Amino acid sequence: MLRPLPKVPLPICYWKPEEELESDMNLFFDSSAADNLGIEAIYTLGTGIVRMFGKLSIRHGIS
């Protein structure tokens, strides 16, 4: 669970790669996010976090 903002929790589900299955990551916004933040800000926040994880995976050789 990430908390990028005090009232906007961001649950993360990550599966490590196993045998023939690739790794997978899903980000979810809590249903209260729309009550505490506008949809455009939620989209911007989600996009920024995904880009950050992408850069981290490239830097650390994870694909």
Average pLDDT over residues 36-56: 91
A 10 A CB-CB count for 45 gives 18
Contact residues for 60 (Cβ-Cβ < 8 A; gap 6+): none
Q: Supply the pLDDT for residue 63.
A: 58
**Phi/psi at 38 (5° precision):** -70, 155
pLDDT for residue 9 is more than 80: yes
pLDDT attached to residue 55: 92
Q: Is the pLDDT of residue 26 over 70?
A: yes
Q: In the chain, what is the greatest distance between 2 CA atoms, to the nearest angstrom?
A: 41
Q: Tell me the two tokens of residue 24.
A: 């997978």
**Domain residue ranges in the chain:** 2-13+27-59
State the amino acid at position 13 in one-letter form. Answer: C
Q: Chain centroid to CA 46: how far?
A: 6
pLDDT at position 40 over 90? yes
Averaged over 16-39, what is the pLDDT?
88
